[in-house]
Amino acid sequence: MKTSAQIRQDFLDFFRSKEHKIVASAPIVNKDDPSLMFTNAGMNQFKDYFLGNKTPDRRRIADTQKCMRVSGKHNDLEDVGRDGTHHTMFEMLGNWSIGDYFKPEAIAWSFEFLTDKMGIDPDRLYATVFEGAPDEGVPTDEESRTEWLKVLPAERILEGNKKDNFWEMGETGPCGPCTEIHYDMRPQEERLKVSGRDLVNIDDSGVVEIWNNVFIQFNRKADGSLENLPERHVDTGMGFERLCMVMQDKEATYDTDVFTPLIAEIERLTGHKYGGSYRPEAKADMATRVIADHVRAVAFTIADGQLPGSGGAGYVVRRILRRAVRYAYSFLDQKDPFINKLMPVLVREMGAAFPELKQQEGQITKIIESEEKSFLNTLENGLTRFANLDAQSGTISGKDAFELYDTFGFPIDLTELLAAEQDLKVDIEGFAAGLAAQRARGRADATKVVGDWTVISSEDSTFIGFDYLSDAGAQITKYRTV
Ligand code: ATP
Ligand code: MG
Ligand code: MG
Ligand code: MG
């Protein structure tokens, strides 16, 4: 069985052999781009190439990119721990063509890598291609289908809609169809029963998306219309942990060697034996997964210079850490700082691929420990307060949620999580009002992310509804600049 380190290396070596330049991951924290707090895809650092603002010294590039999807357009936080495929922080393996090769090579190489190099059974692969958008004059992506038909049977090439198979950088700018590669995780009996076109919904059927190949060929203009780009590009992203899951024949990413050393350390420190259960009542198993996930997110962001704090990206880091602390406290009986104790194992496992972790190990450990300490000071009282709230209506009032936030340091998503565990709702609107009132008294801070690069500024903006994450960590305000 290949180790995760070997798999990562094999990917980079494969694309090096196809004349790609291997570059370093960009930082996971996006200090230079006010519109995007965290890197959420491999292509972020190459955005200017696609926009034509810069020319790369090499037209073929590959890397592994540290990504985080906890805010803005991609927010997977609620899935973390509940499923075995979504993380806060993950690595995205990617290869790019900046005006060089296009669909035939990209698809052929994806298939070659997965089947020849990785030895994955081609009979378990599915591809999706864009069904087209006739109203916009975009035809079905027959070019991709033609390539796939060379290696896959027609019944395992499915058509997908705009949501899954058409990528746009923002409201305007580069965009195009994508083809996604999925792996059938189901046992053989089930595969024999239902397969191919009979799968109703590929994402809900035990078939897991592993690799997205985006073909950037259009430019969306301000009036909404599309024009062909003079140069066409390829942008791909494959979930490294998911690839390891497939390669190591596991049911979840947590069962691969990316996570098992961390989980073993959590078991050793807490005495809880991880059982790999996803049943809602298996809280300690869920907590184990959440902690194994969150410690990576927190350690990697601190290593890249984003400390936990009270606003912006810092607050996102803080609430991820607080979420981990609460899981450890409630379900693994950890009443003292604990998350920081996972650092030696994390560094031992990831320090070779990401030396920044190793270099700052002491510092990161101290920061996590002091954050843990300060939250643990109020956590117990906050949980007692929460248990005594009047929620007879089935909803926790905005005022109470704001008190938990303000007095006990509970990020709103933590309150929502606690509420959901008891089938309660939270009056988010009321909470937002409390927060806004506090903000009005303090500073104004409302940089929001809605697309991959759409900056929504706080100036002259109008509240238009609840849609995505704010600094306070909940689905709060959606603004439209007027
Ligand atoms: P999904 O549908 O599973 O949420 P996605 O379509 O949002 O994935 P893409 O934006 O296409 O993901 O990203 C490219 C690849 O990155 C995916 O095919 C998947 O393998 C991986 N990936 C995406 N989100 C996550 C995540 N939260 N954790 C781990 N891997 C992820
Ligand atoms: Mg997603
Ligand atoms: Mg998807
Ligand atoms: Mg996708």
Task: Please name the residue whose Cα sits nearest to atom 3 of ligand 1.
Answer: 209
Q: What is the pTM of this model?
A: 0.90
The residues of the chain scoring below 50 in pLDDT are: 444-451, 453-482
312's enclosing H/E stretch is: helix 312-331
* pLDDT the model gives residue 72: 83
**CA 301 to each of CA 212, 314, 465: distance values in angstroms, whole numbers, following the listed order:** 25, 9, 30
Q: Which ligand is nearest to the CA of 235?
A: 1
* pLDDT the model gives residue 16: 98
Q: Is the CB of 87 under 6 A from ligand 1?
A: yes
Contacts of 425 (CB under 8 A, 6+ apart): 394, 395, 396, 419
**CA 212 to each of CA 96, 166, 169, 457: distance values in angstroms, whole numbers, following the listed order:** 12, 11, 15, 31
**CA 439 to each of CA 71, 432, 478: distance values in angstroms, whole numbers, following the listed order:** 20, 10, 16
Atom of ligand 1 nearest to the CA of 237: 14
The secondary structure of the chain in percent helix, strand, coil, rounded to multiples of 5, reads 45, 20, 35
Q: What class has domain 4-247?
A: alpha beta
Contacts of 290 (CB under 8 A, 6+ apart): 80, 81, 323, 324, 327
Q: Is the CB of 182 under 6 A from ligand 1?
A: no
Ligand 2 centre from 392 Cα, in Å?
Answer: 35
Ligand 4 centre from 212 Cα, in Å?
Answer: 5
Structure tokens at 433: 């009002």
* pLDDT the model gives residue 400: 95
Q: Where are the domains of the chain?
A: 4-247, 259-388
Ligand 3 centre from 237 Cα, in Å?
Answer: 11
Q: Is the CB of 42 under 6 A from ligand 1?
A: no
Distance from the Cα of residue 51 to its chain's centroid: 24
Helices (H), 171-239: 188-193
* pLDDT the model gives residue 467: 36
**CA 91 to each of CA 212, 296, 364, 400, 461: distance values in angstroms, whole numbers, following the listed order:** 14, 11, 20, 38, 35
* pLDDT the model gives residue 35: 74
236's enclosing H/E stretch is: strand 226-239
* ipTM for this model: 0.99
* pLDDT the model gives residue 443: 58
* pLDDT the model gives residue 417: 92
* pLDDT the model gives residue 457: 34
Q: Is the CB of 241 under 6 A from ligand 1?
A: yes
Q: Is the CB of 211 under 6 A from ligand 1?
A: yes
